[in-house]
Every structure is written in C-alpha cells, then in structure tokens.
Amino acid sequence: MIALTPDPVAIQLGPLSVPWYGLGYAAAIVAAVWLGGREAELRGIPRRHISDGLVFVVLLGVIGARLYHVIDQWALYQSDPLRIILPPYSGLGLYGGIAGGLLGVYIYTRRHSLPYLRLTDALVPSVLLGQAIARWGNFFNQELYGPPTDLPWGIAIECQFRVPAYPCDGFPVGTTGFHPLFFYESMLNLAGALVALWIGRRLLGTVRDGDLTAFWFIWYGATRTALEPFREGYNWTFFGRPVATLIGIAAIVGGLIFIAMRHRQERGGPGTQPLDPPDDPAPAPVPARPRVGPGTGVAVAEESEPGSGAPA
C-alpha cells in the first residue's frame, strides 16, 4: 500500500495556515479559467467574459457548495449554527457548487445578452478538469476513501480521520490500506474532460447548444453513482440510499432526456421554440455560432464583438 499520510496544511505563517485543500481549489479555478476561455472563443464568445464573470460565478458556487455540505452534515451544525458562516470552512458539496455556479452563469449571461447554454457548454471541459485537480485536496485531508483493500495503491488513513467502522485497533495504520476513491473520481473526471474536449472540437458544427452541458450531468452522474456505494462515512441518506447516488441517477436521466428533446426540436418535431427565448423583442447582437472549416475540425469565428479585440 501507499503508506504516505500527508499534513493537511501546506503553508504555516504564524497563526495563518494555508491548507492543501484550498490550494487545490485555487489551482482548479486557474486551470478552469484558462481552458474555459479557449473553449468560449471557439464558440464565438470573447474570452474576457470568462474572467469578467469569474468572481460572481465562483462566489455563488461556493455558497451553493457550502449549503449542500451543511444540509448533508446538519448534525455537526445544529447546536452551533455560527460554524456555518465562520471560518475555518471544513466542507463543500460538489452538487451544490455546480447548482450555484449554473445560477451565476445564468445571471451573468442574461445581463450581457449571451447564449446561456453555449457558454455552459464551453465551461464543461474546464469544470471537469477543475474537479480532477480539486479532488486531490481530499487526499491531503485523508478523506473520500473506500473500504480496506490489499491492492498496491491502497492508501493509509490515520486514526483521527477514520470512520467508526474501521478503528485502528482492528485495522492497524501500518498494514491497512483503503480504496482511494478521490483518485478514482479524479481520473474519471479527467477522462470526462478529454471526452468533452473531443466532442467539442470534432463535432462543434453538429452538436447543439446544451449537449455538452447535458454530457456533464450524464458523465458525472454515472461517476458518482458508481463510486458512492464504496464511500465511507456519508451521512445524508434518503430511505437508506445516499442522496448523492439519487442525484446522480436523476442527473443521468435528466441529461439523456434533455439531449433527446433538443434534437427532436432540431428535426422540427412538436415544440420547436428555443429553450431560452429573449425577453426583449430586439435584444443586443449575440456573437454568431462558429462554423467548422472543411476537413480541419477547427472552428472559424464568423463575427467579432465590436471593440473587444478578440474573435467572437
């Protein structure tokens, strides 16, 4: 097994401590902004919109992630609700973060007359890449692990981080390895990012706005559904089933239905109104969807946003 048990604190400056978990999130955001900007430009959206909306979207994402965690771990907070808003913050829930982030993107696109689903599609590879990076924060916190395993990549978990089912007197630290679920999820998220990039680059002229967004729900829903039964220490259940598993199944079904409905509309079936009709009958011009150069698989922008200096 891998006997390394890392210190959760990366940097200690007097009373100020910087955890690896926080550094992982910061690295994930930087990588997501870089990749998201490139993908947005391919879809005719100036890169500056990714950086301009970053703080607002991340803020709503953190609020959503924190709310999800607090609901999940309410037993820890019901006797001292101030712990919810006072540092140190010890937990974030990914599903809540995605919900908050999607709300932030929706508000931003409405303010700037941008196509919501096209922008969320541009962000899908970067979100999956960010998830793959951020999951390593769980390694440094010695959390998100599965049951004991004899596999050579099993990880050691110190006694204070163990769930009650695996006390150190029955499962010695020196000889007990646990399934590294954080690593499994990180690698699946990275694979999802690569698949989303391939779809977005190779099929940019044929996929509809929203297809990659639905892909995220299908891919991550399947990932979480497959891994959650092996996770140790989850508390939020509904009729004995982990809530994260139920959300994952709902995400898969919802993503498949969304894609089917969007492509049915494209064929001229019932209900061909766009999902996001403008409220204003004369909205501000929106950058045109890029076309794909023949045989190249490279997107070519058709218009530029006035004064932006960047291809639309």
228 contacts 234 by C-beta, under 8 angstroms:
yes
d(Cα 206, Cα 200) in Å, to the nearest integer? 9
- Residue 218 resides in a domain: yes
Residue 291 covered by a domain: no
Tell me the pairing of strands 16-19 and 148-149: unpaired
**Distance from chain centroid for Cα 307:** 32
Residue 84 or 196, more confident: 196
First to last CA, the chain: 51
Which two three-digit tokens encode residue 49? 């919109």
Domain that holds residue 126: 9-268
Is residue 1 in a domain? no
b/e per residue, 114-129, with b = 16+ CB within 10 A?
A: bbbbbbbbbbbbbbbb
Other beta carbons within 10 Å of 13: 7
Angle between helices 116-134 and 94-112 (to 10 degrees): 150
pLDDT at residue 222, rounded to an integer: 97
Domains contained in the chain, number: 1
- Distance in angstroms (rounded) separating the CA atoms of residues 193 and 187: 10
Q: Is residue 283 part of a domain?
A: no
Pick the most confident of 163-167, 218-222, 234-238, 288-292: 218-222
pTM over 0.85: no
Vertex 39 angle, CA 303 and 288, to 5°: 25
- pLDDT at 26 exceeding the cut of 80: yes
Name every residue whose Cβ is closer than 8 Å to that of residue 267 and which is 6 or more positions away in sequence. Answer: none
Query: Has residue 17 been placed in a domain?
Result: yes
Integer angstrom CA distances of residue 247 from 10, 94, 308:
33, 11, 40
Q: What is the pLDDT of residues 108-140, one digit of tens each?
A: 999 999 999 999 999 999 999 999 999 999 999
> Do the domain assignments include residue 3?
no
* Rounded Cα–Cα distance for residues 242 and 229 (Å): 8
Q: What is the mean pLDDT of the chain?
A: 84
Position 298: which residue type? V
- For residue 290, the number of C-alpha atoms closer than 13 Å in the C-beta half-sphere is 27
If we measure between CA atoms, which residue out of 37, 4, 25, 227 comes closest to residue 132?
25
Q: Is 293 within the bounds of a domain?
A: no
Q: 36 lies in a domain?
A: yes
Q: What pLDDT does residue 135 have?
A: 92
CB proximity list for 90: less than 8 A, separation 6 or greater? none
pLDDT number for residue 279: 46
Structure tokens at 33: 């902004």
